[in-house]
Amino acid sequence: MALLTLEDITKTYKQGELLVHALQGIHLNVEEGEFVALVGPSGSGKTTLLNIIGGLDTPSAGTAQLQGTDIAKLKEVERSDFRLFELGFVFQAYNLVPVLSALENVELVMVLQGLSAAESRQRAEHYLQLVGLEKEQQRRPSALSGGQQQRVAVARALAAGPRLVLADEPTANLDSENAGALLDLMHQLSHEEKTTFIFSTHDERVMARAERIITLQDGKIISDVRTNKHD
C-alpha cells in the first residue's frame, strides 16, 4: 500500500468573477521513503497540491489519503492532530517563531505533541546536531542566516517523527550553494530517518537531486520521472 494516494484531485476556486482550476484530475501514489520533487512554473499548482496533502486546503473533488486516512474528511481538530503527528512542514521562509530560539523552535512541535520537556529537549538537541547547528541552538531566528533558518525548520519537521515531510519551495530564498546544501541535507536525513519528502521547487539544480520528479503544468501532472538517485 502506498504511503500517499491521490485520486482525481481537482481544486477550483473563484478569483473575482473568474473560476481558477488550480488542480485538474491529479492521480499520484508516493511510496514510503521516497524523495520527491514537485516541479513546474509558478501557478502550476505545486503549493495547492502540497496544501491539500498537508490538510491546509481541501480539494474540490477527489480524495487524498495518507495510509488510508482521507485527509479532507478529517474534522478541524483531527486535521491539527494529523499535521502534528503525521506531517512535517518546511516553508519557503519565515518558518520559525521569531521569539523562540532555534532549540525552542525545534522543541515546540514535540511540546505540542505532549512529550515531556526533557525528552523534547533531548530530541531537539539531537536534530539540531544532525543539521549542524548545535552551536547556534540558543540563537533566535533573527540571528541566523537564511540557510541556517531553513535547517532549523528541517530539524523541527523531522524531530516530531512524521511519516511525510512537505517542503514548499524550501530553497527559494537561498543562494545556490546553500540551496544545494539544504537539499543534500534533506536527502541524507530522508534516508537516515526513513522519512518521505515531497518538496516543490522550480530550481533546476535543486530538482536534479530528487529521486523522483513530478512535473505540473496548469494543474495537471505532465510527467512523473524516477531518476534512480538512491544512495
Partner 1 sequence: MHTRSQTHTSRQLPMLFFIAWRNIWRNPIRSVLTISALASGLIMVVFYSAMMEGMLRQMVYQATAISTGHIQIHRQAYIDDQDMYATFPWPWLDAIERDVPGINVAPRLYASGLASTTESSTGVMLKAVDPKREPTVTKMLTQVRSGTLNLGLASDSAEGLPRFYVVVGAQLAKNMHLIPGSELILVTQAADGSVGNGLFVVSAILKPLSPNFDRMGVLMSILAYQQLMVLDGGFHELAIHVEDAEHMQAAEALLVHNIDKRNQAQPLDDLGGKAVLRNWRTLSPMISDMLEMSKTINFIVGFIVICLASMGMLNTMLMAVHERSHEFGILIAIGMKRRWLLLMVMLESLLLALVSALVGVIIGISGISAFGERGIDLSGTMPDGYDWGGLVFEPYMQLYIDPINILSACVLMVVITLLAAVIPAWRTVRLDPAEVMR
> By CB under 8 A, what part of segment 25-54 binds partner 1?
47, 51, 54
β-strand partners of 70: 65
Cβ neighbours around 117 below 10 Å, total: 10
Selected from 12, 60, 113, 178, the binder of partner 1 by CB under 8 A is 113
- DSSP 3-state assignment of 78? helix
Interaction between residue 173 and partner 1 (CB under 8 A): no
Selected from 2, 84, 172, 181, the binder of partner 1 by CB under 8 A is 84
Interaction between residue 108 and partner 1 (CB under 8 A): yes
- We find the least distance from the C-beta atom of residue 103 to partner 1, in angstroms, to be 13
Interaction between residue 199 and partner 1 (CB under 8 A): no
Closest CA to 154 of 162, 116, 50, 37: 162
Selected from 18, 19, 77, 118, the binder of partner 1 by CB under 8 A is 77
Alpha-carbon gap, residue 106 to 229, rounded angstroms: 29
Residue 51's φ and ψ, nearest 5 degrees, are: -65, -35
Alpha-carbon gap, residue 182 to 102, rounded angstroms: 16
Selected from 2, 72, 74, 100, the binder of partner 1 by CB under 8 A is 100
Selected from 1, 16, 19, 76, the binder of partner 1 by CB under 8 A is 76
Cβ neighbours around 11 below 10 Å, total: 22
- We find the least distance from the C-beta atom of residue 111 to partner 1, in angstroms, to be 5
Alpha-carbon gap, residue 26 to 96, rounded angstroms: 31
Edge-to-edge strands of the sheet including 4-15? 18-30, 4-15, 61-66, 69-70
Interaction between residue 137 and partner 1 (CB under 8 A): no
Interaction between residue 151 and partner 1 (CB under 8 A): no
Alpha-carbon gap, residue 219 to 43, rounded angstroms: 8
Interaction between residue 169 and partner 1 (CB under 8 A): no
- We find the least distance from the C-beta atom of residue 175 to partner 1, in angstroms, to be 23
Interaction between residue 127 and partner 1 (CB under 8 A): no
What is the binding site for partner 1 (CB under 8 A)? 47, 51, 54, 56-57, 76-77, 80-85, 87-89, 91, 94-100, 104, 108-115, 117, 156, 160-161, 163
